[in-house]
Amino acid sequence: MKFLFKRPHGIPTPEPPKPAPVAPAPVPAPAVVPTPAPAPAPAPAVALERVAAAPAAPEASAKAPGAYRQDHKSLYKQLLRGLYDAVFVTDPKGHVIDSNGRVQEAFQFDRNEVWDMEIGKLVPGITPQLLERVKQGLSENRHVLIDARCVRKDGTFFPSEVAISSIDLINEGDMVFSVRNVERRKRQLQLLRSLQNALANDLSAVAVSDRDGVITFASQTLRTLWGCEKDEQVIGKPLVSLWAKDPQADGPLKAARAGGRWLGMLQATAVDGRAFQVGAAIDVDRSMESQEVVGLVCSFAEVNE
């Protein structure tokens, strides 16, 4: 049996339900593997080459203003420290504006004490009038060197040589005073003169020669004994000429040069040809520093038979 049912007219037939959309199954995201951060790239070689190839700036533009003068100031200070002499730098009126370390050793004043001091108080005799004459000489490119007696802080004096020159340091016309202590030299010179006076007045006849045997000094007694009226008759002559006719003329000098003092009798010959006998002592003269033979010293005494 088949039954048919009809929907009443006017009632819409419902649409069959649409199947629900099926969402695709979610795909799992791939696992993320951490990667290390890349190392910083090295600076390009081009940049280094540019720096190296960049032309150097001119020296004048590279230095700060006043750098050139500063370099010269450094050299000036080094020079001042290295000088052997005590050095004062003064303004044109003679007031000290700089000095070196040797000043304290020579004058006992430190650098601060001599600042602005008149140079005449350190080197008496240098007056304003003398300074004007010195400036005139310096302007004519003449060398100025004076002998002076300088005064120390304790009031004692010492002989010195003072060389004066000009320098444009701070002011135009500044001056440099280089003071050299010659006290030791003067003392040695005075001792030498005293010895010469002693030899000149010695009752024995004395002669001194150089290492070649040429006479450089003869005492008055020797000149009288040999009858020399002029220096040229004995000074500059061979020492052996005083006993040229002696049979052993060359023996005494050879013996002395060999290192031994020679003592003996010699037959001397005066300028007028007179022959006489002398007792002689001949020895070498040696340098104080190296002990090198620098000459011969001889003394003679007449022997009357």
pLDDT tens sequence across 101-114: 999 999 999 989 99
Task: Say if 49 falls within a structural domain.
Answer: no
Residue 77 CA to residue 82 CA, distance in Å, equals 9
Q: Is residue 224 within 8 Å of 200, Cβ to Cβ?
A: no
214 and 175 housed in the same domain: no
Predicted pLDDT of residue 3: 40
208 and 276 housed in the same domain: yes
Residue 101 backbone phi and psi in degrees, to 5: -70, -20
Domain boundary among 152, 184, 216: 184
CATH number at residue 292: 3.30.450.20
Predicted pLDDT of residue 33: 47
Domain boundary among 158, 184, 210: 184
Task: Say if 6 falls within a structural domain.
Answer: no
179 and 206 housed in the same domain: no
Q: How confident is the model at residue 154 (pLDDT cuts 50, 70, 90)?
A: very high
Q: How confident is the model at residue 135 (pLDDT cuts 50, 70, 90)?
A: confident
Residue 244 CA to residue 266 CA, distance in Å, equals 10
Domain boundary among 184, 216, 251: 184
pLDDT tens sequence across 115-125: 999 999 999 98
Predicted pLDDT of residue 70: 56
Give the CA angle between residues 244, 249, 250 to the nearest 5°. 125
pLDDT tens sequence across 230-282: 888 999 999 999 999 998 888 888 888 887 789 999 999 999 999 999 999 99
Q: Is residue 258 within 8 Å of 283, Cβ to Cβ?
A: no
Between 43 and 119, the more confident residue is: 119
Nearest to 241 by CA among 272, 278, 268, 205: 268
First to last CA, the chain: 206
2: pLDDT strictly greater than 70? no
Dihedral angle sign, alpha carbons of residues 94, 96, 99, 105: positive
Predicted pLDDT of residue 64: 55
Predicted pLDDT of residue 56: 42
Q: What domain count does the chain have? A: 2
Between 73 and 281, the more confident residue is: 281
191: pLDDT strictly greater than 60? yes
Task: Say if 103 falls within a structural domain.
Answer: yes
206 and 282 housed in the same domain: yes
171 and 87 housed in the same domain: yes
165 and 234 housed in the same domain: no
Predicted pLDDT of residue 260: 78
User: What percent of the chain is modeled with pLDDT above 90?
Assistant: 42
Give the range of the structural domain holding residue 259, as residue numbers without chain letter.
200-303
Q: Is residue 174 within 8 Å of 90, Cβ to Cβ?
A: yes
Residue 179 CA to residue 186 CA, distance in Å, equals 15
203: pLDDT strictly greater than 60? yes
Predicted pLDDT of residue 158: 94
Between 129 and 52, the more confident residue is: 129
Task: Say if 105 falls within a structural domain.
Answer: yes
Q: How confident is the model at residue 17 (pLDDT cuts 50, 70, 90)?
A: low
Q: Give the number of residues written for the chain.
A: 305
128 and 95 housed in the same domain: yes
Q: Which H helix or E strand runs over 139? A: helix 128-139
SS3 171: coil
179: pLDDT strictly greater than 90? yes
Range in 34-48, 187-201, 259-273 with the lowest mean pLDDT:
34-48
SS3 191: helix
Looking at every residue in the chain, the average pLDDT score rounds to 79
Q: How confident is the model at residue 144 (pLDDT cuts 50, 70, 90)?
A: confident
31: pLDDT strictly greater than 70? no
